[in-house]
């Protein structure tokens, strides 16, 4: 079976979206009562996934948020952020590609958001105990809801203004 050629456009798009997700996660951090923070990084994760597909969403989401954790003094959360936001980006990209349109974006946001809330509940229970992790659940819900509410119309506007954006993350 012939090997598909590497497309440098995908690498470039992934790097840019990783940087955007990092900045959105790192610049606006609202500390939570236990030991953590909520951020706008989910906007970058969802937008990456919607615009460029599951793999770009997974890499940008996982790597962008994990790097923000490391540079913010929350390094113990970085492996969990890598996995949780990576899974969020992958499932959101996969679902939005399977069901194009607003319904697909909403479904993708709900599924990705559920992964984040449940993932951080489990990670928080492991790192800090169940009680502390439960106090973070409402804040994680707010975080992913804001990410979805901002990224869905943002993606729709960008897609309408520049339709070729959908081809940037695709392999030839």
Q: Can you spell out the DSSP letters for 19-84?
A: HHHHHHHHHSEEE-SSS-EEESHHHHHHHHHHHH-HHHHHHHHHHHHHHHHHHHT-GGGHHHHHHH
Residue 163 lies in a domain: yes
Residue 172 lies in a domain: no
Residue 30 lies in a domain: yes
50-75 per-position pLDDT tens digit: 999 999 999 999 999 999 999 999 99
Q: Is 92 helix (H, G, I), strand (E, B) or coil?
A: helix
Residue 2 lies in a domain: no
Residue 1 lies in a domain: no
pTM for this entry = 0.91
Number of domains in the chain: 1
155-167 per-position pLDDT tens digit: 999 989 988 887 7
Mean residue pLDDT of the chain comes to 92
The CATH number of whichever domain residue 27 belongs to comes to 1.10.1760.20
Residue 3 lies in a domain: no
Instruction: State the pLDDT at residue 7.
Output: 79
Please report which confidence band the pLDDT of residue 118 belongs to, taking 50, 70 and 90 as the band edges: very high
Q: Average pLDDT of 125-140?
A: 93
The residue segments making up the domain with residue 134 are 8-167
Please report which confidence band the pLDDT of residue 33 belongs to, taking 50, 70 and 90 as the band edges: confident
């Amino acid at each position: 079976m012939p090997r598909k050629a590497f497309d440098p456009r995908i690498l470039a798009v992934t790097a840019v979206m990783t940087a955007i997700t990092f900045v959105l996660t790192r610049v606006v951090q609202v500390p939570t009562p236990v030991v953590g923070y909520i951020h706008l990084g989910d906007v970058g994760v969802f937008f990456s996934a919607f615009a460029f597909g599951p793999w770009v969403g997974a890499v940008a989401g996982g790597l962008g948020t994990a790097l923000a954790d490391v540079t913010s003094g929350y390094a113990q959360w970085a492996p969990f952020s890598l996995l949780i936001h990576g899974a969020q980006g992958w499932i959101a990209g996969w679902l939005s590609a399977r069901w194009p349109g607003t319904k697909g974006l909403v479904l993708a946001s709900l599924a990705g958001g559920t992964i984040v809330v449940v993932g951080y509940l489990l990670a928080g229970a492991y790192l800090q105990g169940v009680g502390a992790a439960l106090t973070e659940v409402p804040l994680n819900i707010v975080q992913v809801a804001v990410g979805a509410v901002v990224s869905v119309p943002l993606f729709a506007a960008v897609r309408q203004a520049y339709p070729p954006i959908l081809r940037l993350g695709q392999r030839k």
